[in-house]
Amino acid sequence: MGLSARREELIMKLKESNIFNLISKAFPAGSPKKEGRFAPIYGLFERHEPKPRQTEMAFFTDTSICTGCKSCEVACKQWNQIKAPTPKWSGNSYDNTQDLSYLNWRHVKFIERFPEKNEVNHPAPKNIDNLLAEKKIGEWLFMSDQCKHCRQSPCHQACPTGAIMRNEFGGVYYQTDICMGCGMCIAACPFGVPEINPDTGHSVKCAQCYDRLRDGLRPACVTACTTGAIDFGPREVMVEKARARVKFLHEHGHPEANLYGCDDFEHYSSLNSFYLLMDKPSVYGLPENPITPTEHMPMDYLRAAATLILCSAVVVGTLM
């Protein structure tokens, strides 16, 4: 191909990509019809049909058998290529990652409940029987936490760019390439999950290992869990397992065992990452009754309208 021919080809490509020429551009078969003055904007993007819906999948985390080993945290970082920060000790816990963040898409919470004063200088047990007979002081609770993949997710509703979508497996997925880092999803989430990555300016969180799911694999954290505390599969199957497990615990001396997010809350949808807890949700740092932020919007709009009317009346009264 000669220089002039390549030049002509380049000019044609530039003309095709010019927004002002898109009005007359033929849309591919099956694309949405032109919508008047917005057609040039829509024409800038390739538009595809959504992927066929698959079986709704869910995480079930049984905190009664979680040992706090943090294998799931390591697996999450390794698969998603998330850098590991230098561990920091809070002084209040043995937990060195402390919270969900842009560097911790999964976090194992340590709930350490011990008395402020412990007995010291008591004789050491002489054999295993004496050791087992010793009075147990305090207890540890562990919980492998992550994005809850809410079935009706407020972060999805709040996103102004469409960067947040629900994938075909029912998970909430963030498309970081079109996220503008406004932080609306952070304000909307009642669980404090998403966070802005300061290196990229995008909001990030657990992606449910979407790339692995598409290839028929289970999430990395599930495969790494040493005790089977994290399970993943069709939601109906996970719900059945969760109900059977909590029934077993009730029958074997643990009436405090309860399910969190398996069913709808009073003002919030059920979750696609639900938990079996061994105490009240607030002990694990979870809201007892999460609320969808949009429920407050009608009253917010009403107060705003009333404030506008009041201010207008004051201005008019001042000028008269």
List binding-site positions for [4Fe-4S] cluster. Answer: 66, 69, 72, 76, 147, 150, 155, 159, 179, 182, 185, 189, 206, 209, 221, 225
Q: Residue 309: phi, psi to the nearest 5?
A: -65, -40
Token pair belonging to 190: 């009642």
| Token pair 């639900």 in the structure block, residue | 274
| Token pair 């998970």 in the structure block, residue | 171
SS3 track for the chain:
CCHHHHHHHHHHHHHHHCHHHHHHCCCCCCCCCCCHHHHHHHCCCCCCCCCCCCCCEEEEEEHHHCCCCCHHHHHHHHHHCCCCCCCCCCCCCCCCCCCCCCCCCCEEEEEEECCCCCCCCCCCCCCHHHHHHCCCCCEEEEEEECCCCECCCHHHHHCCCCCEEECCCCCEEECHHHCCCCCHHHHHCCCCCCEECCCCCCEECCCCCHHHHHCCCCCHHHHHCCCCCEEEEEHHHHHHHHHHHHHHHHHCCCCCCEEECCCCCCCCCCECEEEEECCCHHHHCCCCCCCCHHHHHHHHHHHHHHHHHHHHHHHHHHHC
List binding-site positions. Answer: 66, 69, 72, 76, 147, 150, 155, 159, 179, 182, 185, 189, 206, 209, 221, 225
